[in-house]
Amino acid sequence: MRLTFRILATTACALAVAVGSSSGAAAREQVPVWNQQPDLVSGGAYTASVRLSDGYWAEAADDFELPFSASVESIEWWGSGGEPSELLHVIVRFYLDDQTLARGNPGAVAYQETISVLVGEEVVGPTGDDWRYTADLPVPFVASASVRYWVSIQGVKQSSQWYWYESPPDGYWGDTAMLRSEFWGFPNWSPYTELVDDVRAFSFVLYADTTPVEATTWGALKSLFR
């Protein structure tokens, strides 16, 4: 079975954000605690959407693990198939890893929020509809140190699909990304290695507030970046 995809375009991304408050309090810096960039040359974008007009439903997930505890407050990702105003909302989920299986696999839902306010930056690409998105999480997700999680980003649209861009092969971490969709004939989580005969990983950046992070963790944080 061949899955729908689109070719990725070249873009640039920010590696840090600052969050301010309407009360005039000083902005507090957020730093990327997990950073999987998109494939800017030859990557694909794969279905990860809900289409309300006909009930189409597909969910993708990719794994990550932090070497320290962190309160994830915002997320950045790349996709195709709609500027922010065309997305009714986005569903962000974090899953625990299912330890009962030999391979990595999304297990119980640890976090789920629906996001209606997000910022998009259009990027130049062959489809003419390629975007970098950023959004604050309504409630921070507290990730424990050395625990594997899976993140899922699902775009909800009225009558068309939304696609999530993959990362380049040299940026892959852990197990291959997973997909489930009754429309495509696999209602349970299935690894991309079984669906497209190749490993996949998706592009996303997780940002956390630096304030509650203890000084002893910054060596581990810096080790994530060269």
pTM score above 0.85: no
Average pLDDT over residues 67-94: 92
Q: Is 82 a member of any domain? A: yes
Mean pLDDT of 152-167: 93
**Does position 82 have pLDDT exceeding 90, yes or no?**
no
Q: Is residue 23 part of a domain?
A: no
Which of these, 15, 18, 40, lies nearest to 221 by C-alpha position? 15
Is 218 inside a domain boundary?
A: no
Mean pLDDT, rounded, of the chain = 80
Q: What percent of the chain has pLDDT over 90?
A: 49
Whether 32 and 16 have beta carbons less than 8 Å apart is answered as yes
Does residue 32 surpass a pLDDT of 70? yes
- At 5, give phi and psi (nearest 5°): -150, 165
For the residues 198-224, what does the mean pLDDT come to?
A: 67
Does residue 224 lie in a domain region?
Answer: no
Give the total number of structural domains in the chain: 1
> Is pLDDT above 60 for 138?
yes
Residue 218 pLDDT > 50, yes or no?
no
Q: Say which range, 129-133, 154-158, 168-172, 209-213, has the weakest mean pLDDT.
A: 209-213
Predicted pLDDT of residue 40: 65
| Containing structural domain, residue 56 | 5-13+28-213
CB atoms within 10 A of CB 140: 17
**Residue 220 forms part of a structural domain:** no
Interacting residues of 181 by C-beta distance below 8 A, sequence separation 6+: 47, 57, 58, 59, 187
What pLDDT does residue 39 have?
A: 82
Q: What is the mean predicted confidence (pLDDT) over 177-196?
A: 88
State the DSSP code for 166. Answer: B
Is residue 154 included in any domain, yes or no? yes
Strand blocks (E) in 21-147: 28-36, 44-47, 49-51, 56-57, 59-65, 70-80, 89-97, 106-115, 119-123, 130-143
- The CATH number linked to 59 is 2.60.120
Q: What whole-number distance in Å separates Cα of residue 115 and Cα of residue 92?
A: 7
pLDDT band at 126 (very low <50, low <70, confident <90, very high): low
User: Across-strand partners of 145?
Assistant: none
pLDDT, position 188: 93
